[in-house]
Homo-oligomer: A and B are copies of this chain.
């Protein structure tokens, strides 16, 4: 159920509605919008009688929801969410660029890359300390030591840190050292992890699973939000298809679909999405042109020596050129006329 408050409803009215929801044994999620607040109700298995709410002060409407999702919905929050990550934001008018190496390898590599990322004007640094690897015998990451390096990068370069957590212990560690917890594609339906990430106070970057439908992606976000953490950023990173010329098939049509259904921002990952150095820049341009809120890009001072996914990493020069291209594109695409038409 969604409860839409009147535009003149007072804070006390909202609080009162939430108390009534809680008294019924459910949970209320207040989402302030530009002109009014909407309150999502979760925790109920069946329908709730709107009569509980319609005479409360400040309530405009109580709407029964038949869609499988509530909190991610544009019905609950018509305006796009702008998610604060450290001292910057994702989802607003600016294109978010998150860049860095696939895996953190050593201080030299990390700081050399961070220098390039800072120079490019990007506000976010990525780098894996805990690496989900298909083989148990592949490099699994530097762990806590890597997180500590990332914290140094933030201090030294003013970059906001995005890095992956693979389990509950990882979520705690990442939440301590970094600004945004990434949940990887292989964990998109690790529901226990989603619930855990819903209880922290850092934003979550949720990558689409390799064979996740749009609904499954949105419901994974809903898992996090139902626990009270509304700061979710989605990420398209390619899906698994029969096509073998790229490592994955980027499904850019999900960007307008996500923007239509939900208020959450969505970024694209052309590095994992293609797996080939020469495809990253063209697909980054395509991602910006289709309307994504940002990019996540792998860059490595020396891709041929990377311990992980070197084939898709950009050199510093390629990366700086990419940023220049997508910045120009984003200015063009973000003009009101273009947005209106999209």
Contact = CB atoms under 8 A, between A and B. Distances in A.
Interface of A: 42-45, 68-70, 132-137, 139, 166-168, 170, 186-187, 189-193, 195, 209-211, 213-216, 219, 222-223, 226, 239-246, 249-257, 260, 273-274, 276, 278-279, 281-283, 285-291, 318, 321-322, 324-325, 328-329, 332-333, 337-338, 341-342
A332 B250 CA distance: 23
B168 A167 contact: yes
Given A170-B192, A219-B135, A332-B328, A341 B281 contact: yes
B192 A226 contact: no
A136 B223 contact: yes
A226 B136 contact: yes
A341 B321 contact: yes
Contacts of A278: 256, 260
B242 A253 contact: no
A242 B251 CA distance: 11
Contacts of A337: 321, 324-325
Interface of A is mostly: helix
Nearest to A243: B251
A186 B190 contact: yes
Contacts of A226: 136-137
Contacts of A215: 134
Contacts of A70: 137
Nearest to A275: B253
Contacts of A333: 285, 329
Contacts of A288: 289
12 contacts: A42-B136, A42-B137, A45-B137, A68-B137, A132-B189, A166-B192, A167-B190, A170-B192, A186-B191, A239-B241, A243-B251, A256-B282
Given A167-B192, A209-B211, A240-B242, 4 more contacts: A211-B240, A214-B245, A250-B252, A257-B279
Given A288-B289, A332-B328, A211 B242 contact: yes
Contacts of A260: 278
A238 to B, nearest CB: 8
Contact of A290 (B195, B242, B286, B324): B286
A272 to B, nearest CB: 12
Nearest 7 pairs of A and B residues by beta carbon:
A289-B289, A211-B211, A167-B192, A186-B189, A286-B286, A285-B289, A246-B253
Task: Give the residue among A166, A210, A287 with the most B Cβ atoms within 10 A.
Answer: A210
